[in-house]
Amino acid sequence: MKQGRKISGGKYKKFRKKKLYEKKGQERLVKLGKLKRKVLRARGGNEKIVLLASDEANVLDKNTNKAKKAKIKNVLETPSNKFLARQNILLKGAIIETELGKAKITNRPSQEGSVEAVLIE
């Protein structure tokens, strides 16, 4: 059956529009480049800092349990979409090449304002 239809063939109708707080926010893709942040107004008048571009990451070394700030050289691969790696877009799960070696991004940079990563090698 076609999507949005009942078994009888009738259409499902929305009983109301979406409220403002139910609507999706603008999709942000964090690019590799000079640091660029933006402050957004969140619910209740709070401020949310979002990242638009970054060239450094806080990289955690599991062996020593210490974090260091390292420059990002390149995005090697992105498990969710290979085309995003070609465009050097930073997102959760992406494997990046840093000064310290290969690292995997563990947070969601588009929503948190920074890039956190864990060393792989």
| Residue 17 belongs to some domain of the structure | no
* Per-residue 3-state assignment (H helix, E strand, C coil) for 43-54: HHHCEEEEEEEE
Q: What is the pLDDT of residue 106?
A: 96
The domain tally of the chain equals 1
* Residue 45 CB-half CA count within 13 A: 0
Per-residue pLDDT of the chain (121 residues; tens, 9 = 90+): 567 888 898 988 888 999 988 888 888 899 999 999 999 998 899 999 999 999 999 999 988 999 999 999 999 999 999 899 999 999 999 999 999 999 999 999 999 999 999 999 7
What residues make up the domain containing 115? 27-119
Asked if residues 61 and 100 have their Cβ atoms less than 8 Å apart, the reply is yes
The domain that contains 90 carries what CATH number? 3.10.290.70
pTM exceeding 0.85: no
